[in-house]
Amino acid sequence: MRTQIGIVGAGPAGLMLGRLLRMQGIESIIIENRSRSYIENRIRAGLIEHWAADLLTEVGAGARMQREGLLHWGINIGINGDLRRIDFRRLVGKRVTIYGQQEVVKDLVAQRLADGDPLLFEVTDVTVHDLTDSRPKIRFRHDGVAQEIDCDFIAGCDGFHGVCRPSIPQGVLATFERDYPFGWLGILSESPPPEHELIYSYTDRGFALYTMRSMTLARLYLQCDHDEAIENWSDARIWDELHRRLGGARELKEGKMLQKGITPMRSFVVEPMQYGRLYLAGDSAHIVPPTGAKGMNLAFADVVYLSRAFDAFYKRRDDTLLRDYSAKCLRRVWKAQRFSWWMTQIMHRFPNESAFDHRRQLADLDYLTSSESAARSLAEQYVGLPLD
Ligand code: DHB
């Protein structure tokens, strides 16, 4: 097989890149090691920044999001049950859209298949080769047959555990990492959320987040131990803790639990996001802790920059944007890292925190929710910094 851009991974980064390239008249082949039903049902965050929702609409994949997504013009911060609202409309005139990441994936897959562009599921034994040559290659097996794609460039959109990043020789990438001494236990419940907007609830017992997929489907998270076993959390224990961590601010209705899982918390960045003709985008290059839901939004920003760079290369033989790709992405990545780290550390209880740190954290929360300047700073980052 022969294509211009070989895309490894059909998550939000790979699928959006494929769509942007098609709009520019650039060919791509997307390969994915999971099945279509796996990627369409994999539960992730469900919060889309203002510009990213507009992007989905501009690329023609936003129709169902516009019908089914919820527009949120603010969030609530709870401090031991004292609920304070941050009003995005007043502070920055923007909103976020609540719509599950797997729904975005479904819409982008349906669009790609309708366009008739190649998208191969359940490929195995994926390897990438000749990354510093002018014709890099992707090898894999599909339906038992060994295949090779001869590409101009490869986009590594294959996530944190993918094969692209580890194919870059030792010593090329610098890695920046931080672990957190807790995780999130998340459930999906057939019940209304306790408020029509999100509640980020700090309590002395730990953090909880009350979000939703619709007004009848709640997505609820609890800060739990770092290496917590899900078996330790019966449904009754989860509900009991969710009630307590609302701190009496609202009533929480219980419902049937449809899904239960643990989300690890990690900050991770590699630099640069490129080696030869391999360009990394999304989770293959960076992971943020879930607080603030920046993961998919960052992946979209990467591929917007990457598609612009390919466009300049093919239309004008200008490789300036390709050379600048990594630096351009990393400026945004580090701001999102900083924001996600900050939201995480302000909302969670840390084991072994000192009494001083605990008082400082409460003052941070009080400042955030009582100073217009502080609230505006959160708002402009939460709804998404503009793409430059
Ligand atoms: C969701 C997840 C988040 O991490 C967040 O900050 C907001 C919303 C979600 O799953 O809806």
Mutate to test the pocket of ligand 1, among 99, 209, 288 (most ligand atoms within 8 A of CB): 209
Can you tell me whether residue 181 is helix, strand or coil? coil
DSSP 259: E
Q: pTM for the whole thing? A: 0.97
- Report how far ligand 1's centroid is from the alpha carbon of 51 (Å): 17
Looking at CATH, the fold of the domain delimited by 180-264+349-382 is given as D-Amino Acid Oxidase; Chain A, domain 2 (3.30.9)
Instruction: Please work out whether the CB of residue 278 comes within 6 Å of at least one atom of ligand 1.
Output: no
Domains 5-74+89-176+267-343 and 180-264+349-382 share a fold: no
Q: Is 87 helix (H, G, I), strand (E, B) or coil?
A: strand
pLDDT value, residue 121: 98
Between CA 303 and CA 255 the distance in angstroms is 38
Q: From the CA of 44, give the closest atom in ligand 1.
A: 10
Mean pLDDT of 280-304: 98
| Nearest ligand 1 atom to alpha carbon 211 | 11
Ligand 1 atom nearest 212 alpha carbon: 11
In this predicted structure, the answer to whether residue 264 has a pLDDT above a threshold of 90 is no
pLDDT digits (tens, 9 = 90+) for 143-193: 999 999 999 999 999 999 999 999 999 999 999 999 999 999 999 999 999
Tell me, using a 6 A CB cutoff, whether residue 45 lines ligand 1: yes
- Signed CA dihedral, 58, 301, 127, 25: sign only: positive
Cβ(53)–Cβ(65) under 8 Å?
A: yes
Name the band, by pLDDT with cuts 50, 70 and 90, for residue 325.
very high
Superfamily of the domain at 5-74+89-176+267-343: FAD/NAD(P)-binding domain (3.50.50.60)
∠ Cα 204 91 87 (to 5°): 45
pLDDT at 185: 97
From the CB of 290, is ligand 1 less than 6 Å away?
A: yes
Element (H, E) at 179: strand 174-179
Please report where in the chains the tokens 């793409």 appear, as a residue: 387
**Is-contact 147 59, C-beta < 8 A?**
no
Average pLDDT over the chain reads: 97
Half-sphere exposure of 322 (CA within 13 A, CB side): 18
User: For 130-150, what is each residue's pLDDT tens digit?
Assistant: 999 999 999 999 999 999 999
In the chain, domain spans: 5-74+89-176+267-343, 180-264+349-382
Amino acid at site 153: F
27 DSSP 8-state letter = -
List pLDDT tens digits, range 66-114.
999 999 999 999 999 999 999 999 999 999 999 999 999 999 999 999 9
Q: Does the beta carbon of 296 sit less than 6 angstroms from any atom of ligand 1?
A: no
